[in-house]
Amino acid sequence: MPPVIDKEKCIGCGACEEICPGDLMEIDEHENKAFCRANRDCWDCMACVKECPNGAIETRIPYQLGYYPAKLIPKKREKEIEWTIIDINANVEKLIVETRNK
């Protein structure tokens, strides 16, 4: 599922553009907001979601894995990533995973 950008939160910093391994994220010249230039080519690595300093990007969980409004939200920290999992019943679970950047 391609990333969804909240235009109100996006500040056009370009962090998503720099981190995208598929070179799919761009900043619109007129609006100065991020967008995915080839949605069908996105493989849901969530690098852009983790890198966005304003939390303006999210990906939708494919229906095969969880129904709307289920969410998987990563938040990058200095030496770890916090994953927030919200299931279809609004139950929240958080997982902390250390990164290799120790």
Q: How far is CA 91 from CA 53, 69, 71, 84, in A?
A: 25, 11, 10, 10
Q: Which residues contact 56 (CB under 8 A, 6 or more apart)?
A: 5, 6, 7, 8, 9, 10, 11, 34
The active-site residue out of 7, 11, 31, 43 is 43
Cα–Cα distance for residue pair 88/98, rounded to 1 Å:
27
The yes-or-no answer on residue 83 being catalytic is no
Give the active site residues: 43
